[in-house]
Amino acid sequence: MTGKETWFFGSDHAGLDLKNALVARAKARGLEVVDLGTHDAASTDYPDYAHEVARRVAAGEGRGVLVCGTGIGMSIAANRHPGVRAALCAEPFGARMTRLHNDANVLCLGARITGPGLAEEIFDVFVDTPFEGGRHARRVTKIDER
């Protein structure tokens, strides 16, 4: 990694347009971006992208953003990886709290649920909110021990 944190993006076909909008948003913010696909509208399997992003995050290479139709499948698949704390967020308050209290490292979004303007706001909050630590660090350690 260079001096900037890397952000890994992945989506299935249902999340393609929203993922592309968020990739553009991340680049406009000057973030280091790796788009792991999908890159066209052909039907795909969301676990393929969730696992690829989660592997990178679990390896400590950066944080991730996953988008499918609802965000549910992506979050389930990503959370199968030790050290990954994927959070499905549908509004900015949840994004803020999952960063503050859970040190979430993967943001999951549902393209059929959350429009692009709101998704960009959620993404910005997720990126900009630091982990609070303190008593929450003990709790995150307990999550990762299981």
Inter-residue contact 120 to 100 (CB < 8 Å):
no
What tens digit of pLDDT does each residue of 25-63 get?
A: 999 999 999 999 999 999 999 999 999 999 999 999 999
Report pTM: 0.96
The residues annotated with a catalytic role in the active site are 68, 101
Spell out the domain ranges in the chain.
6-144
User: CA torsion, points 58, 79, 81, 56, in degrees to nearest 10?
Assistant: -30
What tens digit of pLDDT does each residue of 8-30 get?
A: 999 999 999 999 999 999 999 99
**C-alpha span between 80 and 126 (Å, rounded):** 21
Architecture of domain 6-144: 3-Layer(aba) Sandwich (3.40)
User: Please, which residues have CB within 8 angstroms of residue 98's CB and are 6 or more apart in sequence?
Assistant: 85, 87, 89, 104, 126
